[in-house]
């Protein structure tokens, strides 16, 4: 079809008052989504700021009475330790195989993860799932894309549906000795991203492997302070998850409403203002 023919196509439009009512309805959804996004940013900033205050600047509760001692990372509070990530977390704990008794799975691929969140999952019959759909994930796990770590394709898994599986392109970090929120913030600092980037191999597709994560140095505070951090930040992570789910539901509802409103299937006057 030529440009002139396209210009001649007649497009049915509802009356102007109806168009304005539809625009108002959709705007209300967009405003709710934007409000939730702002709240997520505030909550994430609060938790990240607390991590920096306690574990980077060492201004944690009671820090005045804790002396500093030398360590491979410089002076640190007494009682803290520099440990390999493998001492506080497992990397790629488990995966499915051809004999796994799954009817269907919910797949997380690298392209569906943006910095800090999982944007979508795709449901497949087990027989039709991509060959890379192998990593088993559970609540609290940390996903880190092994390819081009400088792009920061990472996210925390919160309350996944049963049989949620991630691509083998991810390293799946499962906290074992620290709160999962501590592991999340410790592995998303600029220093940690620089460590991954500097240890990536391959010119076209720089990538890291599971041992790269396992060998990373983490500064681990006392058990008591870890518990305090978890007590404060895990509820924040739960609230962020709730808001992300709300955003997904609002977008889904808005996208379903739009064609029905335009076609007149739904009477705009029947929708409360």
Bridge partner residues of 122 (DSSP): 107
Instruction: Give the separation between CA 187 and CA 195, rounded to whole angstroms.
Output: 10
Long-range (24+ apart) CB contacts under 8 A made by 191-194 are 192/216, 193/149, 193/150, 193/152
pLDDT of residue 5: 66
Which pLDDT belongs to residue 69?
96
Residue pLDDT, tens place only, 247-257: 999 999 888 88
Residue 114 β-bridge partners: 117
pLDDT of res. 23: 79
Write the DSSP symbol of residue 161. Answer: P
**Given this model, what pLDDT does residue 268 score?**
64
Structure confidence at residue 97 (pLDDT): 83
Structure tokens that stand for 167 in this block = 């691509």
Domain boundaries, the chain: 13-68+222-273, 81-220
Distance CA 240, CA 226 (A): 20
Q: Using alpha carbons only, how large is the chain's radius of gyration in Å?
A: 24
Whether 216 contacts 193, CB under 8 Å = no
Task: List, as own/partner pairs, every contact residues 74-78 make where C-beta atoms lie below 8 angstroms and the sequence separation is at least 24, other chains included.
Answer: 76/219, 77/221
What is the predicted pLDDT for the residue at 54?
A: 98
User: What pLDDT does residue 153 have?
Assistant: 94
Low-confidence ranges of the chain (pLDDT < 50): none
Contact 88, 178 (CB under 8 A): yes
pLDDT of 8 reads 67
Look up the CATH number of domain 81-220: 3.90.220.20
Taking only the tens place, the pLDDT of each residue in 190-235 is: 999 999 999 999 988 899 999 999 999 999 999 999 999 999 999 9
pTM (2 d.p.):
0.87
What fold does the segment set 13-68+222-273 form as a domain?
Helix Hairpins (1.10.287)
Instruction: Please enumerate in sequence order all residues whose Cβ is within 8 A of that of 246, keeping only pairs 6 or more positions apart, or say none.
Output: 32, 36
């Amino acid at each position: 079809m030529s440009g002139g023919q396209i210009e001649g196509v007649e497009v049915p439009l509802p009356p102007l008052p109806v168009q304005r009512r539809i625009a108002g309805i959709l705007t209300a959804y967009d405003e709710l989504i934007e409000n939730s996004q702002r709240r997520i940013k505030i909550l994430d900033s609060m938790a990240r700021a607390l991590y920096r205050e306690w574990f980077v600047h060492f201004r944690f509760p009671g820090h005045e009475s804790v002396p500093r001692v030398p360590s491979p990372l410089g002076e640190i509070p007494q009682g803290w330790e520099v440990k390999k990530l493998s001492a506080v977390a497992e990397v790629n704990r488990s995966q499915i195989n051809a004999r796994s008794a799954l009817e269907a799975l919910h797949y997380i691929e690298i392209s569906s993860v943006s910095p800090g969140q999982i944007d979508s999952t795709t449901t497949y019959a087990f027989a039709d799932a991509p060959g890379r759909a192998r990593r088993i994930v559970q609540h609290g796990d940390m996903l880190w894309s092994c390819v081009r770590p400088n792009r920061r394709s990472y996210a925390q898994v919160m309350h996944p549906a049963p049989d949620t599986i991630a691509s083998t392109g991810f390293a799946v970090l499962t906290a074992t000795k620290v709160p999962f929120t501590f592991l999340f913030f410790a592995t998303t600092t600029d220093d940690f991203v620089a460590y991954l980037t500097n240890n990536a191999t391959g010119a076209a597709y720089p990538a890291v492997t599971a041992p790269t994560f396992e060998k990373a140095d983490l500064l681990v505070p006392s058990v008591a302070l870890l518990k305090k951090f978890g007590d404060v930040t895990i509820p924040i992570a739960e609230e962020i998850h709730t808001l992300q789910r709300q955003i997904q539901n609002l977008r889904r509802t808005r996208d379903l409403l739009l064609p029905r409103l335009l076609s007149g299937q739904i009477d705009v006057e029947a929708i409360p203002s």
